[in-house]
Amino acid sequence: MSSMNEQHVAGERRNAWIGSAGAAGTDLRSDTMTTPTASMLAAIQSCTLLDDVFREDPTTMDLEAHCAALAGKEAGLFVLSGTMGNQLALRSLLTQPPHGVVCDHRSHIVKYEAGGVSSLTGATVKPIVPKNGIHLTLKDIEANVYLDDDVHTCPTRVISLENTLNGMIMPLEEVQRISAFARQHGLKVHCDGARLWEAVASGAGSLSDFSACFDTVTLCFSKGLGAPVGSILLSDKAVIKHARWVRKSIGGGLRQPGVVTAPARVGVDETFGRGPNGEGGLLRETHVLAKEIADMWTGLGGKLFHPVHTNMVWLDLDAANCPPSRIEELGAEVGLKLYANRLVIHYQIYQNREAVVPKLKQVFERVLQERSGNSAGFEPARGDTSMYRKQ
């Protein structure tokens, strides 16, 4: 049978609310490819349809209050995307230049938000290479912040941490150390927690444990949780009040957002789980499957580019002399959508694992069989990399 996408391309429109039986069940490019489910559609049908600029919509306000309570924060603000959440957070924490932000050099805020931190806040961003290759430590931060008031320097005002970053967890103790340091020096701390749900589901700490370390936290609904749209910014009431203002100024005030906040709530309840540790949720199983898939690759002789902590498996394609386009071709031949060296094992892949895993095995075998044959013309990636740019 053709995929749902092909049916749509062909102009045929059928019920698309079929979760892992649709396109997402074979799409490992990202957890943003998860598609909304029938229970999300049911929630949309019974949501409220009132105005959120006037703050009258119960579905939206309930979602904000629920997420704030899960994370132990005073207030929440629904935003259209993770990028919007990060940008509003930084715009709200930073006041008057000169001011600087430090972050991991691989952070979404510095690599993939169109330079928004500089244009929206005027801040100088200092990207840091973590010494351990996995996550920033307090030592990395101490070596890179500017705390003095020397007239030549751009003083650091915000430390921005991303957790998980490339699927890797920054342990709670490290976050706590960095947070204590920041408070001691009057710095603010932001968490790009697009995938903080994953760190929590893995047992690294509760949502409230992590959130307590930060002034602002963004969480995404439209990635691993499977909702169609949106993220949330959590903080204290004063910061959220300011962020609501900034959101309005960039056109993010919403009229009847119940149609997107209702499925977001289903994503939190059903995919993440009902408690602050993801109790009853679906993410933990995806981490187990990700480790099994990584073992399958290494068992066949492949190497990993990053360790597997949660739902991402990073293949070392350079070591396998395999250009990204080749693994994508091999994936397409067996009906899997792949993107370069990153496999994202989201929950709809887990639900379709019986079909996906044998196909992945075929792809892995072909990549590793072709290894020596490709070496002559193979050029490994050079320079700074982007997830969205082919080398």
Instruction: Point out the residue whose Cβ comes nearest to ligand PLP.
Output: 82
- Binding region for ligand PLP (CB under 6 A) out of 34-42, 58-66, 79-87, 143-151: 79-87
At closest approach, how far in Å is the CB of 14 from ligand PLP? 27
Q: In the complex, what is the shortest distance from the CB of residue 258 to ligand PLP, in angstroms, rounded to a whole number? A: 19
217 near ligand PLP, rule: CB under 6 A: no
Shortest spacing between CB 175 and ligand PLP, in angstroms: 15
103-122 footprint of ligand PLP as x/- string (CB under 6 A): -----x--------------
CA pair distance 44, 50, nearest whole angstrom: 13
Closest CB to ligand PLP among 109 and 293? Answer: 109
Angle at 165 between CA 338 and CA 107, to 5 degrees: 100
State the distance between the two ends of the chain, measured CA to CA, in whole angstroms: 34
Angle at 342 between CA 261 and CA 285, to 5 degrees: 60
- Chain CA centroid to CA 170, Å: 14
Task: Identify the residue among 20, 37, 48, 83 touching ligand PLP (CB under 6 A).
Answer: 83
> Which two tokens mark 198?
């994953």
Q: State in angstroms the smallest separation of the CB of 387 from ligand PLP.
A: 8
What angle do the packed helices 38-45 and 258-266 form, to 10 degrees?
140
Query: How many residues would you count in the chain?
Result: 391
Residue among 145 and 220 whose Cβ is closer to ligand PLP: 220
Residue closest to 109 by CA, chosen among 147, 182, 163, 155? 163
Q: Is the CB of 347 or the CB of 364 nearer to ligand PLP?
A: 347
CB nearer ligand PLP, residue 81 or residue 256? 81
Exposed (0-12), middle (13-18) or buried (19+): which is 70, by Cβ within 10 Å? buried
CA 328 to chain centre: 22
Q: Which is nearer to ligand PLP, 174 or 192 (CB)?
A: 192
Q: Is 160 in the site for ligand PLP (CB under 6 A)?
A: no
Nearer to ligand PLP, 110 or 360 (CB): 110
Residue span 178-197 as binding mask against ligand PLP, x where in contact by CB under 6 A, dash where not: --------------x-x---
Q: How far is the CB of 186 from ligand PLP (least distance, A)?
A: 26
Q: Is 82 in the site for ligand PLP (CB under 6 A)?
A: yes
- Say how far apart CA 315 and CA 220 lie, in whole Å: 25
Asked whether the bond before 218 is cis by omega within 30 degrees of 0, the reply is no
**Buried residues in 246-271 as b, exposed as e (16+ CB within 10 A):** bbeeeebebebbbbbbbbbbbbbbbb
Which of 27, 64, 162, 174 is in the footprint of ligand PLP by CB under 6 A?
162
Site size for ligand PLP (CB under 6 A): 12
Q: Which C-beta is closer to ligand PLP: that of 60 or that of 86?
A: 86
Please state the closest distance from residue 223 (CB atom) to ligand PLP, in A: 6
Report in angstroms how near the CB of residue 22 gets to ligand PLP at its nearest.
20
Nearest distance in Å: CB 362, ligand PLP: 28
Tokens of 145: 């912040």
Residues 220-279 that bind ligand PLP (CB under 6 A): 220, 222, 231
The distance of Cα 17 from the centroid of its chain, to the nearest Å, equals 23
Rounded to an integer, what distance in angstroms lies between the CA atom of residue 238 and that of residue 250?
A: 19
Q: Is residue 81 close enough to count as binding ligand PLP by CB under 6 A?
A: yes
Distance, CA of 47 to CA of 108 (rounded, Å): 32
Count the Cβ atoms, other than its own, within 10 Å of residue 114: 10
- What does the alpha-carbon distance between residue 313 and residue 297 come to, in Å, rounded to a whole number? 10
Task: Provide the minimum distance between the beta carbon of 166 and ligand PLP in the complex, in angstroms, as a whole number.
Answer: 9
**Interface ranges with ligand PLP (CB under 6 A):** 32, 81-83, 86, 108, 162, 192, 194, 220, 222, 231
